[in-house]
A and B are shown apart, each in its own frame.
Chain A
């Protein structure tokens, strides 16, 4: 593999990480839910895309139109039925954090169990546009390029939605200060539910994109949660552009490690980055020191 190939593969992977990390940062930054089942929501979407693309006259791209709204609805229901009672009950932020961690940890096993029953524990994949394309002097599979373009488009769309619309501004206000947001007439409960649902929709988009160029298994969620969490912390909680940059960095580092060292060491590389961030800048590369 040449350097350019590695770089492009890294960008593809990094674009996907950035996309899913944006969803997680919405859930943690705005809805204040530490969602440990996030990776399993990604995997669920990957399986959903796998099922949908096999339907007559469907492909993964048109499948997004089903999977992403499906993710939004699922996320909304999870928030309303599972998490919002905990939010209402919690006397302070620390209790909510522990409760949400425990609940989503339980949810992780439920989702994983359902996927195992439905699809078994084998590695799953499908072929979509697996044709070589020449770019910058190297050849890349078309599905990977589409994945990168999709990840960036969807990511930037959500970014514009949050920064350029009145509605997005309200969501960001909740992230900055839930108490003051109430004073200016923002319905913080609804905002949190919508943010959580949007985060799940981004996870669904990410899962669909991942399924286009990677194999996946029902038990692979933990690794995705971990990577998304590390990207979020690296970028600074609630910081969308930070998540985008950190995601791309993580993707490139991982691809470099798996190309030049060993594919079995990618998670170790991720953890090394995490450790470095924790020791050096726990508030994130782009976060402000408090």
Chain B
């Protein structure tokens, strides 16, 4: 009953969002597009990093790969094929990163992903300057922003669905275990490296697709635009604010932060990175489990206190 109700409500929300472009102006569509883009990015990031607690700092590397692939290929291939090619390139890079680092301690993965965007940016720049002789490409497509928006909305729905089904499956349990204690997981016979690799690949492909779908929004693309580290940073802070270990956490975090970011970049264009950096540190300090985790903790504690004070205090701290 409850589940059926939730699904109906969700379907209604998505239907309303899908119909929104018919009632909004260009600014409204652009705004929603950015919002849905970040909700998808944060959810895709949390798909892997939430349960495993492997902090990936490479979001913009995959995002940029997607956007750049579209800029290079959009004239020669049909648009659905361009998306497939972008996804495949993202997959290959993700497998390369995953295979070389996910067998090792988590910190190697973090380090590798930390510089990855800069590496790919420099390689693309080098290639463009030396081989093709240009830096920066124009991108003119024959469809409007509402089409970009619908594609993104579909991807967003798919991402949330994947998150939902993984949580309900054996995979979800395996991931939770890896996040809690990898050594124990290994001893229980879980193929930890393979599970992590598969999930990292899935998350990276979605992020690549977000970049690929959003690319036409820029009309002019160059490495410094599509490999902007702020995108990685925002994705991370959104997922953390909401709580990366929960399905709806990234959504809850993305909406207010996107609004804040829009407001900051309009009013304090020079200072927003300082303000967001401080906010980020504050979140790590005050809400280590995200907003959802915070309320869940307090709710549990309140309930435990109310139900017979003689019992032992609630110790069920949520991980993630």
Binding site for B on A (CB under 8 A): 34, 36, 82, 85-86, 94, 97-99, 101-103, 105-114, 116-117, 222-223, 225-226, 229-230, 233, 262, 264-265, 267-268, 271, 274-275, 278-279, 282
Shortest Cβ distance from B127 into A: residue: A264
Contact indicator A113/B273 (Cβ below 8 Å): yes
**B 265-289 to A, binary, CB cutoff 8 A, 1 in contact else 0:** 0000011111111101100110010
Bound CA–CA A108/B273 (angstroms): 10
Across the interface, name the chain A residue whose C-beta is closest to B105. Answer: A282
Contact B112 A113 (CB under 8 A): no
Q: Which of B55, B57, B100, B229 is within 8 Å of A275, CB to CB?
A: B100
Which chain A residues lie closer than 8 Å to B270 at the CB level?
A: 116-117
B55 near A98 with CB under 8 A, answer yes
In the complex the two chains form, is B100's CB within 8 Å of A278's CB? yes
Closest 7 CB pairs of A and B: A109-B277, A106-B280, A113-B274, A110-B277, A113-B273, A264-B126, A226-B115
The answer to whether A264 touches B130, judged by C-beta atoms less than 8 angstroms apart, is yes
List the B residue with the shortest CB-CB distance to A264.
B126
Instruction: Confirm or deny: B256 has a beta carbon within 8 angstroms of a beta carbon on chain A.
Output: no
The answer to whether B271 and A102 touch across the interface, beta carbons within 8 angstroms, is: no
Since A98-B53, A265-B123, A271-B115 are in contact, a sample of 7 more A-B pairs with Cβ atoms closer than 8 Å, ordered by chain A residue number, is A99-B284, A110-B277, A117-B270, A262-B126, A267-B118, A268-B122, A278-B108
The closest CB in chain B to the CB of A109 belongs to B277
CB of A27 to closest CB in B, whole Å:
13
Can you list 14 contacts pairing A with B, beta carbon distance less than 8 Å? Answer: A82-B281, A102-B280, A103-B285, A106-B237, A109-B274, A112-B273, A113-B274, A116-B270, A226-B115, A229-B111, A265-B123, A265-B126, A268-B122, A268-B126
Instruction: Name the distance in Å between B268's Cβ and chain A's nearest Cβ.
Output: 10
Are B233 and A109 closer than 8 Å at their CB atoms?
A: yes
Determine the main DSSP class of B at the interface with A: helix
Q: Are A222 and B280 in contact (CB under 8 A)?
A: no
Are B280 and A268 in contact (CB-based, < 8 A)?
no
* In the assembled complex, B156 has its CB within 8 A of some CB on chain A: no
Q: How far is the CA of A114 from the CA of B107 in the complex (A)?
A: 28
**What's the minimum C-beta distance from A50 to chain B, rounded to whole angstroms?**
20
Residue of A nearest to B237 (CB): A106
Asked if B104 contacts A282 (CB within 8 A), the reply is yes
- A227 vs B130: C-alpha distance when bound (angstroms): 24
Q: How far is the CA of A268 from the CA of B121 in the complex (A)?
A: 10
Q: Are B271 and A113 in contact (CB under 8 A)?
A: yes
Give complex CA distance A112, B230 in Å: 11
Q: Is the CB of A233 within 8 A of B111?
A: yes
Residues of A within 8 A of B278 (CB): 106, 110
- Candidates A102, A114, A223; contact of B240 at CB < 8 Å: A102
Chain B residue nearest in CB terms to A271: B119
Residues of chain B within 8 A (CB-CB) of A102 are 55, 236, 240, 280, 284
Nearest CB of chain B from residue A118's CB, rounded to whole Å: 10
Q: 8 Å CB contacts to A: which residues of B103-117?
A: 104, 106-108, 110-112, 114-115
> Is there contact, CB below 8 Å, between A36 and B114?
yes
Q: How many Å lie between the Cα of A82 and that of B285 in the bound state?
A: 9
Docked Cα-Cα span, A117 to B270, in Å, equals: 6
Q: Chain B contacts of A106 at CB under 8 A?
A: 237, 277-278, 280-281, 284
Query: Which chain A residue lies CB-closest to B281?
Result: A106
Residue of A nearest to B272 (CB): A113
Q: Given A98-B55, A113-B274, are A264 and B122 neighbors across the interface (CB < 8 Å)?
A: yes
**Contact in complex: A99, B229 (CB < 8 Å):** no
> In the complex, what residues of A have CB within 8 A of residue B275's CB?
113
Within the complex, what minimum Cβ distance (angstroms) separates B119 from chain A? 5
* B79: Cβ under 8 A from any A Cβ: no
CA gap between A40 and B263 in the complex, in Å: 27
Chain B residues near A107: list those with CB within 8 A: 277, 281
Please report the C-alpha to C-alpha distance between residue A152 and residue B278 in the assembled complex, in whole angstroms: 36
Q: Are A113 and B115 within 8 A (Cβ)?
A: no
Q: Is the CB of B274 within 8 A of A223?
A: no
| CA distance in complex: A274, B118 (Å) | 15
Residues on B with beta carbons closer than 8 Å to the beta carbon of A85:
285
A117 near B229 (CB under 8 angstroms)? no
Q: Assess A262 versus B130: contact at CB under 8 Å? Given A94-B106, A267-B122, A278-B101.
A: yes
B259 at the interface (CB under 8 A from A): no
A233 touching B108, Cβ below 8 Å: yes
How far in angstroms is the closest Cβ of chain B from A98? 6
Provide the residues of chain B in CB contact with A94, threshold 8 Å.
53, 106
Q: How far is the CB of B287 from chain A (nearest CB, A)?
A: 12
- Which residues of chain A are near B233, meaning CB under 8 Å? 105, 109
In the assembled complex, the CB of A29 is this many whole angstroms from the nearest CB of chain B, namely 12
B129 within 8 A of A: yes
Q: Determine the distance from Cα of A98 to Cα of B57 in the docked complex, in whole angstroms.
A: 12
